[in-house]
Amino acid sequence: MAPIPAPRLPRLIATDLDGTLLRSGATVSPRTVAALAAAEAAGIQVIFVTGRPARWMGVVADHVHGHGLAICGNGAAVVDLHRGGELIETRPLLRENAQVIVHALRRVAPGVSFAVERTAGFHHEPGYPPAGFEPVAVVAPVEKLLEPGPGLRELPILKILAHHDDLDPDEFMALGREVAGEHGEFTRSSPTALLEISAPGVTKARTLAARCRRYGIRPDEVVAFGDMPNDLEMLQWAGTAYAMANAHPAVLAAIPRRTRSNDEDGVAVVIEELLAGGGGR
């Protein structure tokens, strides 16, 4: 009887960060660092695919040992981590679409507050909950932030963020898609009612797919990991996908393969099994 061939290694691993590769304290465990290095040594490309902006990538920039690319902003930007997070590709949200989205959400969700993520800088309204570590250049009503003008307002918009204190997160996302889905891509990765809105058609999956086409990598040669709604399309596109044990219910319902939680190094566990010839769980 002919021997059973060992499982074929993937050519590319695509992994989300927060809630997936990173532990709850936004750290990379030594086990995960070692697994990423072993994957790259085996000839497997690793791409981080995240909702984070490029300036938040320092936490993992030292752990990509080959090409050093990351897909940021839910697909709105591709950055070179080995060149200080330099933007090498952007898929911006048109100002006109952003204005329509803001108007629609103001109408159906009173109390909503907004922030604007540009290629250089993060700006928000006075009522938007600020991140204490985030350097902010401008605080003003979002209508003002979206006006054309010189300086920072000329820079491309990667996404806008909409926050609500009271609405259920998933209901807020459904509402946004209903009233303005044709003008932007609505998703979420936070446990709070915080929507992340990119240009129409801009998702983690589509930017990853475009990058894989450039490398000549097919979906069935990709293993992907994620935990939140903004990962779901990417997980469904990849030939092999794993939902983290801590994933959102919609992700757990859609993705049959599971791995351990982010705090239990679930991504590293699968990588180790793949390299050992076990093919993952």
Domains 12-90+203-275 and 95-198 share a fold: no
pLDDT of residue 191: 93
For the chain, give the mean pLDDT: 90
Which class would CATH give 12-90+203-275? Answer: alpha beta
- Residue boundaries of the structural domains of the chain: 12-90+203-275, 95-198
Could you report the per-residue pLDDT of 110-122, keeping only the tens digit for each? 999 999 999 888 8
pLDDT of residue 281: 46
Comparison of pLDDT for 130 and 145, the residue scoring more = 145
pLDDT of residue 148: 81
Q: Which of 207, 259, 250, 247 is nearest to 18 (CA)?
A: 247
- Say which residues have a Cβ less than 8 Å from residue 278's Cβ, sequence separation at least 6: 7
pLDDT of residue 50: 96
Q: How many residues does the chain have?
A: 281
pLDDT of residue 28: 92
- Assess contact for 59 and 27: CB atoms under 8 A: yes
pLDDT of residue 192: 95
pLDDT at residue 48 tops 50: yes
pLDDT at residue 38 tops 80: yes
Could you report the per-residue pLDDT of 195-205, keeping only the tens digit for each? 999 999 999 99
Number of Cβ within 10 Å of residue 171's Cβ equals: 12
The burial of 73, by beta-carbon neighbours within 10 Å (0-12 exposed, 13-18 middle, 19 or more buried), is given as buried
Give strand ranges (E) for 132-245. 136-139, 157-163, 185-187, 194-198, 222-226, 240-244
- Assess contact for 39 and 5: CB atoms under 8 A: no
- Amino acid in the structure at residue 33: V
Give strand ranges (E) for 25-135. 45-49, 69-72, 77-80, 86-90, 113-118, 122-124
Give strand ranges (E) for 63-193. 69-72, 77-80, 86-90, 113-118, 122-124, 136-139, 157-163, 185-187
- Beta strand 194-198 with 185-187: parallel, antiparallel or unpaired? antiparallel
Angstrom CA distances, 268 to 45, 68, 98, stand at 15, 19, 38
Mean pLDDT, to the nearest integer, of 46-64? Answer: 83
CATH number of the 95-198 domain: 3.30.1240.10
pLDDT of residue 5: 38
- Give the whole-angstrom CA distance, residue 42 versus residue 109: 50
